[in-house]
Amino acid sequence: MSRIAKPKTQTPSNAQTIAMFANWVMMNPNEDFTPVLNAISSIYKDNLAETKESAQCAPAPMLYRAQSLIEGDRQQDYGDKLQNFSQIAMLFQGSLAMKLQPTARITPEDVAILMMQVKIARLAKSPDHKDSIMDVAGYAGCFSILQDERTKGKQLPGAIVDPRG
């Protein structure tokens, strides 16, 4: 059985309503448009009050999106969080073993390597995940740029210090 879509009635947006009103005013410069302005002002105030009230009651949408990613696509793509983060920790441990000295510093290149390892650990679970493959390539490109900038003696702004001195 096929469904027949109901025709949608279109309500003009606020911007369209204002544009229509502005056109009407320009076409009818001698008309008294005070009642229309009062009606628009009243609707605006009511909408503003409703928006403020619903904003106070509604949780932050970003948190919902993050939760849906954590429990949805990311969970499916990368698997169990404890397992995935443990694999990442093991990769980090090997990369940072020589950095775990009192005078050692973590460099921007180390960060690029660590970020690649996050993606590599995820690829171990989902080897066909194109975004992770692209991210590894992107971080490798950043690594190369970091080395070029250091060779050219790029100055860092403010109090930011290059750990390689």
Among 90, 74, 84, 69, which residue's Cα sits nearest to residue 124?
84
Q: How far apart are the first and last CA of the chain?
A: 72
Among 5, 39, 8, which residue's Cα sits nearest to residue 21?
39
Q: How do the pLDDT tens digits run along the chain, 165 residues long?
A: 455 555 555 665 555 565 565 555 556 666 666 666 666 666 666 665 665 565 566 666 777 777 777 777 777 777 788 888 888 999 999 888 888 888 888 999 999 999 999 999 989 988 988 888 999 999 999 999 999 998 998 888 887 888 877
